[in-house]
Structure 1
Amino acid sequence: MNIHPRSLDFLRDVDVRLSVELGRTHLTLREVLALGPESLVVLDRMTDELLDVMVNGKAIAKGEVIAHNGRFGLRIVEMTGHESDGAAAGGGHSGGATGDAVLPDPAASDAE
């Protein structure tokens, strides 16, 4: 059974959690309990590597950190996943596409 992409338009307003993973490391509980101000935790990612962009824990893209109006931002460098998924969703990009993430203004949400 094929579902027409337009029949799923109602899902576009569903909230999802977008997160960016800077890197990972493995620590013992003893090491975690010893953390404090000035502690250094070395991650498994090099400074020139792209960051993982995830939606609800699933990697969807790779990106890089940028500064935008005094805040951190994210520039999407490539989309990950199956090419057929992107084409079916209307994306059609197989990687290399760039775009800036839109950052919400926290002052605007406080005013509501």
Structure 2
Amino acid sequence: MNVESGTGSGHSDSLFAKIEAHADGQRAQDERLGHGRNLDSILRIPVLMQVVLGSATMPVANLMKLGRGAIVPLDHRVGEPVDVVVNGRVIARGEVVVVEDDNSRFGVSLTEIVGPAAADSNG
């Protein structure tokens, strides 16, 4: 490609036009994606994050019999990864851990980030 420094070359005019079009397109894309103040607004939106230890299915009659001290077996076993759910969608899996700063609290150590395709099938 022959690029001259003058303004009379069709090649250089074409190159600069492409660069300007790309820059304009990038600016428009940046605005759509939320750069700057728009992104700050999005980052402040609260989301509900839950860690699912497991679940159980039972008839309503058995549910009505539950009382204080009843144990409900869950479908997950000790040591199996737990699901990390944000706004109803599985986004990760991890292991339950005791929080170092406060031994009376649990936390989750993430072991896997779930990709969009897998998250869609789990949500």
TM-score (structure 2 length as normaliser):
0.60
The alignment partner of 1:74 has SS state of: strand
- Determine whether 1:34 maps to 2:65: yes
* Cα root mean square deviation, aligned: 2.0
Pick aligned residue for 1:65 from 70, 74, 96: 96
Report % sequence identity.
30
Q: Which has the higher contact order (CA 8 A, sep 6+)?
A: 1
Q: Which runs of 5+ in 2 are unaligned?
A: 1-27, 118-123
Greater share of residues in helix? 2
Q: What is the aligned counterpart of 2:112 among 68, 78, 82?
A: 78
Of 44-53 and 5-14, more deviation after overlay is shown by 5-14
**How many equivalent residue pairs?**
83
Higher alpha-carbon Rg: 2
Shift of 1:38: 2.3
Query: Which is richer in strand?
Result: 1
**TM-score (structure 1 length as normaliser):** 0.65
